[in-house]
Amino acid sequence: MEQRSGEHAVFSLLILSVLLIALTVVVVCSGCAKKIATPDDPKDAVETYLNALAESDWDTAYYMVDKNTKDNHSQEEFEEATNTVYGPEFKEMLTRIEVVDSQTSGDSATVTIRDKVTGNNMEEKLVREDGEWKVTSPDPE
C-alpha cells in the first residue's frame, strides 16, 4: 500500500512538473509574438505602411490602416484586393516612393509622397486613433 501511494505521489509530481513547464513555455512565448511599433509621426506611419505593402507584410500593412477600413474589409479581403487591383507593378513602384511633406491638423494628417522616377506626387490621408496614426486612404476598391 505504501508503494502505491509513493507511486501516486511521484506520478502527481511528474504531472505537476509537466504543467509548470507548459505554463512557462506559454508565458515566455506570449512575449515572442510579433509586435508592431506604430510611429508617432504621420510621415513615419506612411513609410511603415508603404514598406509593409512592398514587402507583402500584410500583418503590418493591415495594422496601419484605420478602423473604418478594418470595419469594411477583413485582412484577407484587404490583401486580395490590394494584390488584384495594384499587382506587381504597384509593389515595384513602392520601392521608388519617398515621403516629401506632411501637414497635420489635430487628429488628421495628409502626407505627400513622390515617385522618385516619374516625379508624380500622391497624398495619403491619416487619422489618429487611440494615439496612433492610421492610414485612411488605402482602399483599392
Predicted pLDDT at 83: 82
* Per-residue pLDDT tens listing for the chain (141 residues): 556 666 655 555 445 444 334 434 343 333 444 456 667 899 999 999 999 998 989 999 999 999 999 999 999 999 998 888 777 788 888 889 999 999 999 999 999 999 999 999 999 999 999 999 999 965 554
Residue 140 lies in a domain: no
Residue 5 lies in a domain: yes
Which pTM was predicted? 0.70
Residues 71 and 106 both lie in one domain:
yes
Residue 141 lies in a domain: no
The predicted-structure confidence for 121-133, as pLDDT tens digits, reads as follows: 999 999 999 999 9
Residues 9 and 75 both lie in one domain:
no
Residue 68 lies in a domain: yes
Residues 94 and 115 both lie in one domain:
yes
Residues 118 and 80 both lie in one domain:
yes
Residues 70 and 93 both lie in one domain:
yes
Residues 116 and 73 both lie in one domain:
yes
Residues 22 and 72 both lie in one domain:
no
Residue ranges making up the domain that contains 4:
1-33
HEC readout, the chain: CHHHHHHHHHHHHHHHHHHHHHHHHHHHHHCCCCCCCCCCCHHHHHHHHHHHHHCCCHHHHHHCECHHHHHHCCHHHHHHHHHHHHHHHHHHHHCCEEEEEEEEECCEEEEEEEECCCCCEEEEEEEEECCEEEECCCCCC
Q: What whole-number percentage of the chain has pLDDT above 90? A: 55
Residue 28 lies in a domain: yes
C-alpha to C-alpha distance for 87 and 139, rounded to whole angstroms: 14
Residues 23 and 82 both lie in one domain:
no
Give the number of domains in the chain. Answer: 2
Residue 93 lies in a domain: yes
